[in-house]
Amino acid sequence: MVLGMRDVRLREASFLILSALAGEPRHGYGIIKDVAAQSDGAVVLRVGTLYGALDRLAGEGLIEFDHEEVVDSRLRRYYRLSSAGASRLAQEAQRSARQAELALSRLATGKGLLA
Amino acid sequence: MSTADPHARLEQSYRRLLWLFPPSYRRSRGRELLDVLMERADPGQRRPSPAESVALLRFSVRTWAWRALSPAPAAARDAMGLLAVVLPMLLLFPAATALYIDAQVGGFGMDELPFGVDIPAWLLWCVTAVLCLFGRPSWARWSASLGVAAYLAAQVVEYSVNNFQTVANALGWLGVQVIAMIALTSPAWVVRGRCQVRRWWAAAIGVTAAGAGLAVSSVDYLQLSTGPTGYLSWPWLVTALLALVAAVVALRSAAGRAVLPIVAGLAGFMATAKYLASGLAGDLGNNVTGQSGPRGHLDWSNLTLLVVTPLVVFIAARVVTAGANFRFPPA
């Protein structure tokens, strides 16, 4: 099977970061907190990992710079989802939903379970 | 700020870690990274956690690698434009050499060729191509200019010792190098795979290519019938057909359309210059078999080169196109 760029699945961290930016523009620490909340604390983004992912997503045109502000003498740079990022996230979410639905329906029949 | 303050000590440690990043990245993102790191730190934390240190280390290595392998978009785009000229140029030389051998040397093969300064000049063009690939367009222009100047100087020396035939035979290759160098110093010619050749240059290239085509494809030159050596000169025919197919297919892509006139122009100029200059030097008409008139000769090494070269030129054009489209998608 030959995969196109849009068919390559997002990594979990990238998916969660895009999802964090889907509601509103967020700064780095805000993304880290939102990702942790989304995953019930299962995914703890390191700052190095976060910025590596942000650079990659920006390079792919999925996110873009929104604005920056200084709060308590700390620089906060906000990022937002681009239109390409929104459609990519929607596509990925629909695929995950379809797969989850299929898995749940199969589990409901219970034929594959051990007695 | 006292270093006894755990907060300050942590900040110092993070600052030291940030020195792992490229200076330009540190200038643009250093403060943002530091502030997020500090905001994320636990109360009373005195030094970076090993996991955070490893993540920063990995990220810095990736940033350095990315910076080294991916120059600034403008420079890379420029380099792609240069490469679109340099690659066909590199491939034309062996093709033209093979054609020259085939028409002139006959059964004696490549060992009889007086390569002289041709190969060093070609190697300098290889260096130019590598510099383009690494996104160093200004260095590439210097390398190409140096190669052409050295080649020109060598020809002047040949001329000064009355070696007119060598100079005449080198005219085509010299002409091609000069044209390519002019193209290299005008990077705006090829931008984002779109051809921006000035109209009168395009017309000149077309006329040159058409003239060369007429000269080269004359029945006498092609030797489509059995020649004096008893062989059909079908390498020429195969090459022409393959070049035609490659040209038609290349027209389907934007960069192909940009590269094609340059390739056609250079090939045409080279073929014309070799044909005319060699004829003027009285070389082409008296080959080693002692029989007058140019003729084709079936030689497997030449044939391979002739068949493969147009395909490689086409593949190179497609690779450049793919690279340009991947990295610089049309707005």
Asked if the Cβ–Cβ distance from B40 to A47 is below 8 Å, we say: yes
Supply A43's token pair: 């995914």
Q: Which of B176, B187, B94 is nearest to B141 (CA)?
A: B187
Query: Is 50 exceeded by the pLDDT of residue A2?
Result: no
Q: What is the CA radius of gyration of chain B?
A: 27
| Nearest chain A Cα distance for residue B63, angstroms | 8
What gap in Å lies between CA A15 and CA A97, rounded to an integer? Answer: 13
Cβ neighbors of B320 (< 8 A, separation 6 or more) are B80, B83, B84, B87, B255, B259
Q: Which of B31, B51, B60 sits opposite A75 (nearest CB)?
A: B31
The reported pLDDT for the residue numbered A25 is 92
Work out whether strand A63-71 and strand A74-81 pair parallel, antiparallel, or are unpaired. Answer: antiparallel
Quickly list DSSP for A10-63.
Answer: PPHHHHHHHHHHHHS-EEHHHHHHHHHHHTTTS----HHHHHHHHHHHHHTTSE
Supply A72's token pair: 């308590």
The reported pLDDT for the residue numbered B229 is 44
B188 forms bridges with which residues in the sheet?
none
Identify the residue among B40, B42, B67 best suited for mutation to test binding to A, counting A beta carbons within 10 A and taking the highest. B40
Query: Is 50 exceeded by the pLDDT of residue B330?
Result: no
The reported pLDDT for the residue numbered B230 is 42
Is B116 in contact with B222 (CB distance < 8 Å)? no
Q: Which of A28, A32, A52 sits opposite B62 (nearest CB)?
A: A52
Identify the residue among A46, A62, A66 best suited for mutation to test binding to B, counting B beta carbons within 10 A and taking the highest. A46
Is the ipTM higher than 0.95? The answer is no
Which residues in chain B touch residue A74, judged by CB atoms under 8 angstroms apart? Answer: 35, 38-39
Distance separating the N- and C-terminal Cα atoms of chain A:
36
| Nearest chain A Cα distance for residue B60, angstroms | 8
The reported pLDDT for the residue numbered B291 is 41
Query: Is 60 exceeded by the pLDDT of residue A5?
Result: no
The reported pLDDT for the residue numbered B96 is 59
Higher-scoring residue by pLDDT: B56, B206 = B56
Query: Is 60 exceeded by the pLDDT of residue A115?
Result: no
What gap in Å lies between CA A14 and CA A60, rounded to an integer? Answer: 12
The reported pLDDT for the residue numbered A16 is 92
pLDDT band at A30 (very low <50, low <70, confident <90, very high): very high
CA-based nearest residue in chain A for residue B59: A48
The reported pLDDT for the residue numbered B178 is 77
Which residues in chain A touch residue B63, judged by CB atoms under 8 angstroms apart? Answer: 55
Q: What is the pLDDT of residues B96-121, one digit of tens each?
A: 565 555 555 444 344 444 456 677 77
Is B165 in contact with B283 (CB distance < 8 Å)? yes
Quickly list DSSP for B251-318.
Answer: TTSHHHHHHHHHHHHHHHHHHHHHHHHHHHTT-TTB-TTS-BS------HHHHHHHHHHHHHHHHHHH
| Nearest chain A Cα distance for residue B188, angstroms | 25
- Helical H segments across B134-233, by residue range: 137-160, 164-184, 199-216, 219-222
Give the pTM.
0.46
| Nearest chain B Cα distance for residue A8, angstroms | 15
Instruction: Classify the C-alpha dihedral B7-B10-B12-B14 as positive or negative.
Output: negative
What gap in Å lies between CA A98 and CA A91, rounded to an integer? Answer: 11
Q: What is the pLDDT of residues B253-287, one digit of tens each?
A: 655 666 666 667 666 666 665 555 443 333 333 33
**What average pLDDT does this structure show over B242-261?**
65
Query: Is 60 exceeded by the pLDDT of residue B90?
Result: yes
The reported pLDDT for the residue numbered B73 is 63
Q: What is the pLDDT of residues B67-84, one digit of tens each?
A: 766 666 666 666 666 676
Is A85 in contact with A56 (CB distance < 8 Å)? no
pLDDT band at B129 (very low <50, low <70, confident <90, very high): confident
Supply B89's token pair: 């140029």
